[in-house]
Amino acid sequence: MELCSRTLTTLLHLTSPSSSSNSLLRSTTCNYATPSKSTNYFNLSSSQSHYHNHNHHVLHRFQQQQPYLFHHHQSSFSSFVVSASSSSSSVAASSTEELDRLPAELKVSETQEPNSRVRLQVEVPPVVCEDCYKRVIIEFTKQAKVPGFRPGKPVPESILLGYVGRENVQKATIESILRRTLPHAMTSVTGKALPDSVRIVTKFSDLEKIYSSQGSLRYDVLADIVPELKWFPDNAYKNLKIVVEIDSDIDAQKASEQEFKRRYKSIGALKVVADRGLQVGDVVVIDISATTIDQDESKIKNIPSAESKGFNFDTEDGDRILPGFLDSIIGIRPGETKSFPLVFPETWNQENLRGVHAQFTVECKELFYRDLPELDDSIADKLIPGCTTVQQVKDLLLQRCQEVEQSAREQATDNAILDQISKMVEVDIPQSLFEEQGRQLYGASLLEIQAKMNLNDQQLASLSSSKAVNEYLEHQKDNIRNLIKQNLAVGDIYRRENLQFSTEDLVKEVENSISEFKRQNQEYDEERVKDQVQEILEGAKVLEWLREHAEIQYVTR
């Protein structure tokens, strides 16, 4: 029912302080999601998408798919391919590993492409290809069980080729060439290439044609590199001027008074009104319908979001609904219907209703008044267990609301700072980083949905499909890019200002995070947890530094 212009403030529950603080904070401040491993500075929980949900691994399938370095269909020779490549350097070998010595130098041309991507055009001379071929033959000789020859003993090359198949040997040779030469070709981007972004883009069939016709090989490699961050102007983050908007609903005094009133009303009894119409303070059950107003009757339309059946309306919340609605139904009696026009204000949350002239029809179904007990110290324990006076109740509620207000102010301040610094930087975001960030956000959202709705495997599979993920990436692309910029900027500030956190804090937070994973029976990678905790602590240090050095103005809305 779209009568409320904003979500009602989540009610405090003093018996569960942490829960109430978070609930109110969510209803009064902007939430921001955060990236994962590579750029996660602000969020770590057992529900993050890097880790397997113990009930539904399908949630993570789309995140665990690794990019193929090259694509082709292997046939029955696949077992020999592994053997032929076993003595070669891995395609994904790290820069710290010793490179396999080649008999000749490669020719590598580097071209910069958009989105912090580099294209490497690699030319492998015939002498290197021949050396790889000889290694493959040796491996096949060791592994193949050729009739008439003892395993591991020399087999004439022509017989071996006839047994294994010349085409299979050629495929194995090409793979060996790629595995041995790719680490050499990547030396120009050592330390800059992003993990899992390196891939050979030349088709395997084209590689076969080049090798079979020329005895050499040429292939192209694409790799995303660490993006360069530029501040405009340089060191702009050192002179931040921030205006933070604070929702009036989080004002501690106002919120505590509202909560006290809610608790007081909750211990009263609702009794049926029999001899009068609706008054302020009553609770009424009504059916509401609404249509647009137009001189041309053919253009009149229903307004579904403003309609409701059996709507329980507390008239003391009249200031939270459409202006004029409460005044228009004052005096209505059970069984009575009233019809009246209203205009949705230009500040209405639902944009398509702003300025709309609507005709409302309201039918009163039931009408109640509250029979409240005397407001004295005798009811204090009913308002908050353990309290002996009404003043004690009010003091405790005010204390809790002050804590919530402070948390909300800090959260809003951090949001405003992050938003500001993201506008001060330019960065060419790599596609692989964008996709990783987006998949992390989507995975976290999916886990939240699963926790709330208990989706079945078929529903999870549908939501985890490539189509669903890609649609999310497209729809959320601006938000994802903004989050990446925020986190890259935070990381840059941490390095520029030589900020540090204590080892004790790191150890403590890692232990807490691992305990939470164990408590929820979820799998985790301890090194991954440590990396993420470190990034969170770095981000906290940066935000603390920025708050201390920024000029901050608070405005209540």
Environment class of residue 37 by beta-carbon count within 10 Å: exposed (0-12), middle (13-18) or buried (19+)? middle
Residues near 9 by beta carbon (within 8 Å), at least 6 away in sequence: 24, 27, 28, 249, 255, 258
| Most distant CA pair in the chain, distance | 110
Which pLDDT does position 31 carry in this prediction?
27
Percent of the chain clearing pLDDT 90 (strictly above): 56
Which pLDDT does position 195 carry in this prediction?
77
The CA–CA distances, whole Å, from 265 to 316, 370, 421, 483, 557 equal: 11, 8, 46, 43, 28
CA trace torsion 7, 8, 9, 11 (10° rounding) = -130
104: its two tokens:
């000749």
Name the one residue in this structure whose structure tokens are 């905790």.
533
Which pLDDT does position 550 carry in this prediction?
92
Helix residue ranges, H only, 144-287: 157-164, 166-185, 204-214, 252-266
535: its two tokens:
């990034």
Name the one residue in this structure whose structure tokens are 């959260």.
411
Which pLDDT does position 344 carry in this prediction?
93
User: How many whole angstroms separate alpha carbon 83 and alpha carbon 399?
Assistant: 70
Q: What's the pTM?
A: 0.62
CA 478 to chain CA centroid, Å, is 13
Short-list 550, 553, 531, CA closest to 195 = 531
- CA 346, 351, 357, 362 torsion-angle sign: negative
Short-list 507, 539, 540, 541, CA closest to 526 = 507
For residue 461, which amino acid is it? A
Which pLDDT does position 158 carry in this prediction?
84
The pLDDT profile of the chain, 557 residues, written as one tens digit per residue, is: 544 433 222 222 222 223 332 222 222 222 222 233 333 333 323 333 332 333 233 223 223 332 333 333 333 233 222 222 333 333 333 343 467 899 999 999 999 999 999 999 999 999 999 999 999 988 888 877 888 887 767 888 888 888 888 899 999 999 999 999 999 999 989 888 987 889 999 999 999 999 999 999 999 999 999 999 999 888 899 989 999 988 877 888 989 998 999 999 999 999 999 899 999 999 999 999 999 998 888 888 999 988 999 999 999 887 788 999 999 999 999 999 999 999 999 988 888 899 999 999 999 999 999 999 999 999 999 999 999 999 999 999 999 999 999 999 999 999 999 999 999 999 999 999 999 999 989 988 888 888 787 778 888 888 888 899 999 999 999 999 999 999 999 999 999 999 999 999 999 999 999 998 888 888 888 888 998 899 899 999 999 999 999 999 988 87
Residues near 327 by beta carbon (within 8 Å), at least 6 away in sequence: none
Residues near 352 by beta carbon (within 8 Å), at least 6 away in sequence: none
**pLDDT tens-digit readout, 379-434:** 999 999 999 999 999 999 999 999 999 999 999 999 999 999 999 999 999 999 99
Q: Do residues 433 and 421 make contact, with C-beta atoms less than 8 angstroms apart?
A: no
Which pLDDT does position 98 carry in this prediction?
64
User: How many whole angstroms separate alpha carbon 259 and alpha carbon 254?
Assistant: 9
